[in-house]
Structure 1
Amino acid sequence: MQVNETLNEGLKREYTVTLAAAEIEDKVQARLAEVAKTAQIPGFRPGKVPTSVLKQRYGDAVLGEILQQAVNDATQQAIAERGLTPAMQPQVEVTKFEKGEDLEYKLKVELLPEIAPMDFSTLELERVVVEVPGDEVDKALERLAQNQRTTKPLEAERPAAHGDVLVIDFKGTVGGEAFPGMEGEDHHLELGSNQFIAGFEGQLTGAAKGEQRTVTVTFPEGYANDQLSNKEAVFEVTVKDILETEATPIDDEMAKTFGAESLEDLRAKVSEQLGQEFQNLSRAKVKRELLDKLAEHHDFEVPPGMVEQEFEAIWRQIEADREGGRSDPDDEGKDEETLKQEYRAIAERRVRLGLLLSDVGQKNGIEVSQDELNKALFQEAQRYPGREREVIEFFQKNPEAIGNLRGPVFEDKTVDFILALAKVEERKLTPDELQKELEAEAAGETADSGSDEAKGKAKGKAKKAPAKAAAEGDAKPAAKAASKSKAKAKPAAGEGAASEEA
């Protein structure tokens, strides 16, 4: 085997690899000898088939098998001898081969960067602490009682009022044309629930049982169905019945319907659940702040191929959002080239953060236990009520899917490791104060500064997590890619000529 380096630029390496024809032929002959031991060919006893017959019958298949194995073996050897650590599956392109001649192929490798993590003890972060006040528990209990309300016929006929449930038949048209989903029978509609298009329910207030009304509304701009977006619709509605709602008392009996022993027990459970929800919001907030600071303090080179794959994944989601009428308002008015530059920068940041977290986790012996993986699997299954067993069986049969669960757990444990080293100050907030801060972050504004510069910076941070990004941060896809690429640093048999999407 001869290996000549043709490119050494940043994290990119390219080589021309030549495998001698004699070496290939020797491996072909050895493989044919193995085949001869079990080959079943009419007219010949097992083990007595002439080599010429074997070549005629199996020669091409054996040659293909040997070439693939030879390329894989040569690729692994070239990488190992040079001490390379591929970031992604190496790319192989056969450039020259004829039967009986040397095989020449081009080997392209992108390397993992050398990462020097900052001193995490110098990080200064803030964690908000939210105590659950009694009135929040009261509001939650009221919402539970609201969901438990029952309906009953009116004791005496009267016009429909806010809070009543109407049993209606309706049929709508746009420009005289009916569209799917614009008609229904015996539909129960609560006035004031905002289940239908804005303005629909208000036009039924005051209706009497048996009355027919014409309701005119306008579908909102950006509606999921482009044919209906910003279009006026006319609905013919028949009010078949009016039901009044009956409040459910907040007492021990209601508590038992939720599996609690008493109202006091239900209050405790609700308080605990609210506390966990606020804790999750707080953790997500400090994690975003941590990722921003890590991005500011690390600027190492990242593999271009990983960035490109991450960008393509983001861009596919952006295009899907466009088709579904869910485009980011901040993207409006920008040409496609500008948007691609912005989202490519997002992809690079995510890859860099993912590689950093992967490196920190591996260097510090962070691992995901089977119990932690089982817990993640159970939580994922709970997202699909009624199909839990199906989801669990899917993951059990697909190791690749299990790997997708392991990545976020590994990342969270690494984040916890860094937070434990950083200086984290706690700040107490009320639920309302936390909500306002989260809304300000989502709007791209800072809670403590009204300057245009501060808003611009905050907006940039918010933009780093497009629709595809998880609410907790924007390093997960890259962390997954880094984990996978390290696991496949050496290509296995049959993989040498393929590149894999991380």
Structure 2
Amino acid sequence: MNVTETNAEGLHRELKIVVGADELEEKLSSRLDDLKDKARIKGFRPGHVPKEHLRKVYGRSVMAEVVQQAVQETSQKAISEREERPAFQPQVKLPEDEAEINQIFDGTGDLSYTMTFEVLPKVEVMDLATLALERPTTPVTDKDIDEAVERILATNPSYKPKDGPAQKGDRVTIDFVGKLDGEAFEGGTATDAPITLGAGGFIPGFEEGLEGVTTGEEKVVDATFPEAYGEPKLAGKSVKFEVTVKEVAAAETKTLDDEFAKSLGAESVSQMRETVKGRLEFDRNMASRLKVKRALLDALNEGHTFELPPTLVDNEFKSIWDQVLHEQEHSKKTFEDEGTTEEDAKKEYREIAERRVRLGLLLSEIGSSNEITVSDDEVNKALIERIRQFPGQERQVYDFYRNTPQALAELRAPIFEDKVVDYILELAKVTDKDVSLEELYKDLDDGQGHDHDHDHDHDHDHDHDH
């Protein structure tokens, strides 16, 4: 094998690899020797087929296997001998000239092919101890707990049947059949369905059409599905619901006592308040961590400049852009609706892609150089949490992840990232700063697209306990 570097511009690499005809012949002869003991050819006893006859019968097909194996072995060896790490799977270009291919398969010509790839840049990590960050914090007060408990009381009312017309806040129990152009549509029929008027749980016009109904009344309610509704056959369509009112009931706020606490799984009001406090503290701590993590990533991004593998950036941009176009298609909105243009949007998302790749390479370098790893137990815990999100489909979800290495790697990635972030935060100068609840959550759900981290997938209760 002979390797020649033909291009080393920036992070791009191109290698010309030549495998001599004599080396291919040696591999072919070895394969034919193996085949000699296994071949079954009429007119020859097993194990006594002359090698030259095997070469005549199987030579080209075996040489094809030899070439494939030679490319695999020599390309891997060429990479391993270099002090570089490819950014992605190298691309191999084999000969296309028919005469050259015939010479290779006939054993009279060398195998010459090219391999192109991009290498990961050398990342010089800044002194992490020089990072100075503020971590916003908002302690939980007794007033916060009182307000949260009041919200729980308000969202868990009891209902008492009433004789008068239904008003907002009342619960109406109904049977209904939804019809589109006079025909019942799938998913539009229900029995004994409890509807809380004003809660916004149904399509526009439905709850409003139930205001004023009384127990025993039959009514046709007009409603319209949103343009962005998930079922295309119903999106934007006006439908009629034939409704029978079973009961109208008024909400009554429950009394805060141990009986109410027990109905929510607590032993007493005191324990319920402790549980509420714990939830508020957990949610605020998550918000605080997200804020300081975002500040950390901003500082890391601004503090490092190194060349990025173009293909990695292109792939990241394509992933982001495909998602943007998908969301636009779903929402029926254009770039102009969002106050921008396609050209400006592409520029913005290209910068986001560059940021993500830069931070990904940087965090990977910090993690690997400091021997930060993710254990199988940590991945299994994440897998269990993921499985719990699909009740009734646990086995299918488990099998999917176990049989899909890429999906399992996607569970491992955020764990690794968080461990690296924790490591950096231990080194950095982090100062806690008390802020108002409004400031703690300000911009928490905005501008997430530019973050490399995965915290934007976390649902924040914003102190609204369930």
TM-score, shorter chain, exceeding 0.5: yes
> Once structures 1 and 2 are overlaid, which stretch shifts more, 59-68 or 169-178?
169-178
* Corresponding residue of 2:136: 128
Contact 1:288 1:472 in 2 (8 A): no
Could you say what secondary structure the match of 2:122 adopts? coil
Query: How do 1:276-315 and structure 2 match up within 5 A?
Result: 276-315=282-321
* Corresponding residue of 1:21: 21
Separation in structure 2 between the aligned mates of residue 92 and residue 265 of structure 1, nearest angstrom:
65
Shift, 1:70, TM fit: 0.8
* Corresponding residue of 1:5: 5
Query: How do 1:140-151 and structure 2 match up within 5 A?
Result: 140-145=148-153, 148-151=156-159
* Corresponding residue of 1:48: 48
Match status 1:72 vs 2:46: no
Once the two structures are superposed, residues 58-90 of structure 1 have per-residue CA deviations (whole angstroms, 9 ceiling, x without a partner) of 444432322122112211222233322211111
Shift, 1:36, TM fit: 2.2
Aligned pair partner of 2:116 in 104, 108, 113:
108
* Corresponding residue of 1:377: 383
Separation in structure 1 between the aligned mates of residue 384 and residue 410 of structure 2, nearest angstrom:
14
Contact 1:210 1:239 in 2 (8 A): yes
Shift, 1:408, TM fit: 1.0
Aligned residue identity for 2:380: N
Unpaired segments ≥5 residues, structure 1: 443-460, 474-502
Q: Using a 3 Å threshold, how does the CA distance of structure 1 residues 81 and 256 change in structure 2: closer, same or farther?
A: same
Q: Using a 3 Å threshold, how does the CA distance of structure 1 residues 192 and 3 change in structure 2: closer, same or farther?
A: same
Q: Using a 3 Å threshold, how does the CA distance of structure 1 residues 329 and 215 change in structure 2: closer, same or farther?
A: farther
Q: Using a 3 Å threshold, how does the CA distance of structure 1 residues 91 and 336 change in structure 2: closer, same or farther?
A: same
Shift, 1:7, TM fit: 1.5
Shift, 1:413, TM fit: 0.8
Aligned pair partner of 2:450 in 464, 468, 474:
464
Aligned residue identity for 1:375: K
Separation in structure 2 between the aligned mates of residue 248 and residue 134 of structure 1, nearest angstrom:
21
Aligned pair partner of 2:195 in 189, 192, 214:
189
Q: Using a 3 Å threshold, how does the CA distance of structure 1 residues 248 and 254 change in structure 2: closer, same or farther?
A: same
RMSD in angstroms over aligned alpha carbons?
A: 3.2
Shift, 1:272, TM fit: 1.4
Match status 1:343 vs 2:328: no
Once the two structures are superposed, residues 222-274 of structure 1 have per-residue CA deviations (whole angstroms, 9 ceiling, x without a partner) of 55456766666655544343234455544333434444333322322232122
Match status 1:438 vs 2:424: no
Separation in structure 2 between the aligned mates of residue 126 and residue 328 of structure 1, nearest angstrom:
37
Separation in structure 1 between the aligned mates of residue 37 and residue 214 of structure 2, nearest angstrom:
90
> Once structures 1 and 2 are overlaid, which stretch shifts more, 127-136 or 245-254?
245-254
Aligned residue identity for 1:46: P
**What is the TM-score normalised by the length of structure 2?**
0.84
Could you say what secondary structure the match of 2:112 adopts? strand
Separation in structure 2 between the aligned mates of residue 319 and residue 339 of structure 1, nearest angstrom:
11
Separation in structure 2 between the aligned mates of residue 128 and residue 399 of structure 1, nearest angstrom:
38
Q: How many residues align?
A: 450
Separation in structure 2 between the aligned mates of residue 373 and residue 242 of structure 1, nearest angstrom:
50
Shift, 1:402, TM fit: 2.8
Aligned residue identity for 1:269: T
Separation in structure 1 between the aligned mates of residue 256 and residue 42 of structure 2, nearest angstrom:
86
Once the two structures are superposed, residues 412-465 of structure 1 have per-residue CA deviations (whole angstroms, 9 ceiling, x without a partner) of 111111111222121123434423x136x62xxxxxxxxxxxxxxxxxx55525
Q: Using a 3 Å threshold, how does the CA distance of structure 1 residues 143 and 47 change in structure 2: closer, same or farther?
A: farther
Separation in structure 1 between the aligned mates of residue 289 and residue 457 of structure 2, nearest angstrom:
8
Q: Using a 3 Å threshold, how does the CA distance of structure 1 residues 56 and 208 change in structure 2: closer, same or farther?
A: farther
Unpaired segments ≥5 residues, structure 2: 459-466
Separation in structure 1 between the aligned mates of residue 221 and residue 190 of structure 2, nearest angstrom:
14
* Corresponding residue of 1:451: none
Could you say what secondary structure the match of 2:382 adopts? helix
Aligned residue identity for 2:310: P
Separation in structure 2 between the aligned mates of residue 331 and residue 285 of structure 1, nearest angstrom:
29
Could you say what secondary structure the match of 1:362 adopts? helix
Once the two structures are superposed, residues 163-197 of structure 1 have per-residue CA deviations (whole angstroms, 9 ceiling, x without a partner) of 22212344556788876555545432111211123
Contact 2:448 2:456 in 1 (8 A): no
Separation in structure 1 between the aligned mates of residue 299 and residue 3 of structure 2, nearest angstrom:
43
> Once structures 1 and 2 are overlaid, which stretch shifts more, 273-282 or 161-170?
161-170
Separation in structure 1 between the aligned mates of residue 264 and residue 57 of structure 2, nearest angstrom:
72
Shift, 1:137, TM fit: 3.0
* Corresponding residue of 2:421: 415
Separation in structure 1 between the aligned mates of residue 334 and residue 426 of structure 2, nearest angstrom:
35
Match status 1:117 vs 2:128: no
Shift, 1:40, TM fit: 4.1
Could you say what secondary structure the match of 1:209 adopts? coil
* Corresponding residue of 1:360: 366
Separation in structure 1 between the aligned mates of residue 332 and residue 436 of structure 2, nearest angstrom:
32
* Corresponding residue of 2:84: 84
Match status 1:31 vs 2:31: yes
Query: How do 1:451-490 and structure 2 match up within 5 A?
Result: 462-465=448-451, 470-471=455-456
Separation in structure 2 between the aligned mates of residue 425 and residue 62 of structure 1, nearest angstrom:
68
**What is the TM-score normalised by the length of structure 1?**
0.79
Contact 2:313 2:353 in 1 (8 A): yes
Match status 1:426 vs 2:412: no
Aligned residue identity for 2:247: D
Shift, 1:147, TM fit: 5.6
Separation in structure 1 between the aligned mates of residue 344 and residue 57 of structure 2, nearest angstrom:
58
